[in-house]
Amino acid sequence: MAKATRSHLLEQLRVQADAVATKRLQELKLSREVFPTDSLDTDALDDLVNLMLAKQSQFLLRAPLRGFNR
């Protein structure tokens, strides 16, 4: 009986993993539609990565922020 329970749990995990993978593919497809790769500015991406890594970055200065004057 323990073997049947393990098989059932493994099958449930496989189904969940497939669902997660499918959702991730859908999100990736949507992000490519919203942000086409030919329109991405590599300097902006570098700045974003540096911002996320808490390194010096110009990312927040790339777009005007409401209420802040430069």
Residue 57 lies in a domain: yes
- pTM tops 0.85, yes or no: no
Residue 70 lies in a domain: no
Query: Domain count of the chain?
Result: 1
Q: What are the average pLDDT values for consecutive 10-residue runs of the chain, which has 70 residues?
A: 78 94 89 69 81 84 66
Instruction: Judge whether 47 and 58 are in contact, CB under 8 Å.
Output: yes
Instruction: Judge whether 51 and 60 are in contact, CB under 8 Å.
Output: yes
Domain extent for 13 = 2-61
What pLDDT does residue 17 have?
A: 94
At 67, which amino acid appears?
G
What pLDDT does residue 9 have?
A: 92
Rounded Cα gap, residues 45 and 51, in angstroms: 10
Residue 68 lies in a domain: no
